[in-house]
Structure 1
């Protein structure tokens, strides 16, 4: 004979009737955070009143990174997302020229334009700031790397120096950081830099007398007064070449944390070190994806084992942002080689970290505007929103 089952008490009738009414009559928007609801209602009125379909990137080729509008109208923009597909300085293995294109596509596949932040609040970067996707700076007609970079710097002078727009950039190999560091330094004064990388990238002209390459973007800007090496922190450095080139870090006075040191530090410990080093000056983040352990990224031209955990990097960035003590004026994510990422796993990690940095940039734009939103506008007509 089977044993009788003791049934748990039923849900009280009053609550059950409430749930039945919600099932029949409620929609998600009834419980949505008011700022998120306002954002969705706002974009619903744009582009002929059809709104934006946030839940899919299917057939959204006319939208840019993270669903931002493609535009080169710089007068009202606060933040420009820029692709720079340089590859001539990739030292080994795969190149990175397809990185910006691939990350732009993957960035639209996260279903939405808002995300929970802290204390019940939400990141709504497209309400915080007017964000455009500037597209890719096309340099393929320039067969010399110097010509490519000088062409790109012309664009950055219009974006940063003339219109005071905050750049967020996807590379390309790490050479691409020359242009934003140069123009932001000229505009804001000497920059602090938060640099995640497996490599120092501190080559001097005396080492290699070529004007632009993936190892001298910081040092040439030290010499020009655009970056303060004593307010630069380098995190994740490792590998068998560090002994050959580490002297420059000591000579210039950058603050270095080897990957072995960083991995045993808590995110809070590292965040505190970053805040201490960069201070309250204008700050730039340069995230070379080879800083990550190959578990999180091996789609790179210079893979180094025993690197950083992507979740750890995420938490470090979050804690530094939460402090409110760092003034972020630009950032890049570089050296993604999508042809070495058939499952797109590493690309999604790169796009996810990019989104977190973009939200931080937009929040700092809003803060510098006295807490006022400067919303993004979309000229296109889209599909339906979920409200």
Structure 2
């Protein structure tokens, strides 16, 4: 065994050697041209950071590193082409809540992608064609659905009413002939699509909706037997009925120029299909991915919407829960991540006037943030669709 004296000698020798080695290394660094290692954090070094940070500087976790902008605040007059807008709202859900945390969850999932990176599959570099900003989240109250949705409607309209940074050759498809910013909204439960459609309809008129989901979301409100609502009492909108109200307001393109993609959930009755057709949709079930393939689904979408202005709304439960489990109402047998990417590629050329990604509930996600990453990458592809298709006639 070591004696105390021997142990102390060993420790002293180790310290001396370490000091000598560290001193030698320090002298090497200190002698390097242009580097004074003795004062690595001196004021002379820090002075280089005294200039204001640029819009491209890292800091806030924005969507795909888009520059942050207070679009509905002090920066409201700053022009841009696309606004990423968060909608922290989930109080009209029917099963598992939590999508109010979706906007920042999707931003979290987008940390490894960038609007200035080349999207190989979409053959696009978004930043070359669009000035994209992240406007943060809309302030939405948590205790009154009507007020919260009204706040979202107002914020969305404020953004859409402006003129975009870029203009294009050809006539704008907007009713006023101007070029307006587009909005990619991060939800939030699916009810938010209703007030968002009000905004785009004012600019472009009724739009064809491409609705990726496992549920129809066109349910006609009505009292069930033993309903807790009194006779004649208003039944509030939910994330399963908002399209019914949108149809009643004339926000959807007529003549069944709207389409659901990925449908596979249980129905209340066969009458749900009748009501859905009356609301203005045709249906592509999830099983069609096996039967006609993604090319067949793309053809069905394009044949349905034609040359109309298009609004894309994607409920993350359209994707199979094996790839995107963190959602309020998961259904097995969904679209794969590879299939959704191929479908997005097949939609290039459509006049996408706006979009949303909804029902991401990070609290149910795996530690790997799988659902958030899937949603973020789909959002990146949607921005590429916008970049490749100017809104001209």
Instruction: State the TM bucket, normalised to the shorter chain.
Output: 0.7 to 0.9
Aligned to 1:127: 128
Aligned to 1:354: 379
Q: Deviations over 1:155-192 (max 9, x none)?
A: 11211235532110110110111122111012101100
Aligned to 1:339: 363
Once the 2 structures are TM-superposed, how far is the Cα of residue 50 of structure 1 from its aligned partner? 7.9
Mapped contact 2:213–2:262 kept (Cα < 8 A): yes
TM-score norm. by structure 2 comes to: 0.73
Give distance in 2, aligned partners of 1:259 and 1:63: 34
Aligned to 1:248: 275
Is the radius of gyration larger for structure 1 or structure 2? Answer: 2
Once the 2 structures are TM-superposed, how far is the Cα of residue 240 of structure 1 from its aligned partner? 2.1
Give the secondary structure class of the aligned counterpart of 1:82: strand
Q: 1:283 aligns with which of 310, 333, 356?
A: 310
Aligned to 1:137: 138
Q: Deviations over 1:118-144 (max 9, x none)?
A: 6xx94221221121111100113x511
TM-score norm. by structure 1 comes to: 0.74
Structure 1 residues 247 and 368: CA distance shift in structure 2, 3 A: closer
Aligned to 2:218: 202
Mapped contact 1:81–1:167 kept (Cα < 8 A): yes
Aligned to 1:61: 59
Aligned to 2:353: 329
Once the 2 structures are TM-superposed, how far is the Cα of residue 306 of structure 1 from its aligned partner? 1.3
Mapped contact 1:114–1:122 kept (Cα < 8 A): no
Q: Which runs of 5+ in 1 are unaligned?
A: 1-46, 54-59, 371-387
Give the secondary structure class of the aligned counterpart of 2:324: coil
Aligned to 1:311: 338
Give distance in 2, aligned partners of 1:106 and 1:63: 10
Aligned to 1:161: 161
Mapped contact 1:89–1:214 kept (Cα < 8 A): yes
Once the 2 structures are TM-superposed, how far is the Cα of residue 369 of structure 1 from its aligned partner? 7.2
Give distance in 2, aligned partners of 1:330 and 1:111: 20
Q: Deviations over 1:51-88 (max 9, x none)?
A: 957xxxxxx33252111111113441111100101110
Once the 2 structures are TM-superposed, how far is the Cα of residue 296 of structure 1 from its aligned partner? 1.4
Mapped contact 2:347–2:385 kept (Cα < 8 A): no
Equivalences, count: 310
Once the 2 structures are TM-superposed, how far is the Cα of residue 146 of structure 1 from its aligned partner? 0.5
| Larger CA deviation: 279-288 vs 304-313 | 304-313
Mapped contact 1:146–1:211 kept (Cα < 8 A): no
Once the 2 structures are TM-superposed, how far is the Cα of residue 153 of structure 1 from its aligned partner? 1.0
| Match runs of 1:4-43 below 5 Å | none
Give distance in 2, aligned partners of 1:278 and 1:292: 22
Aligned to 1:106: 109
Give the secondary structure class of the aligned counterpart of 1:200: coil
| Larger CA deviation: 147-156 vs 249-258 | 249-258
Once the 2 structures are TM-superposed, how far is the Cα of residue 262 of structure 1 from its aligned partner? 3.4
Give distance in 2, aligned partners of 1:247 and 1:74: 44
Give the secondary structure class of the aligned counterpart of 2:287: helix
1:262 and 2:289 matched: yes
With CA pairs under 8 Å and 6+ residues apart, which has the higher RCO, 1 or 2? 1
Structure 1 residues 79 and 211: CA distance shift in structure 2, 3 A: farther
Aligned to 2:259: 233
Q: Deviations over 1:189-210 (max 9, x none)?
A: 1100111101100023446944
Give the secondary structure class of the aligned counterpart of 2:347: helix
Aligned to 2:118: 115
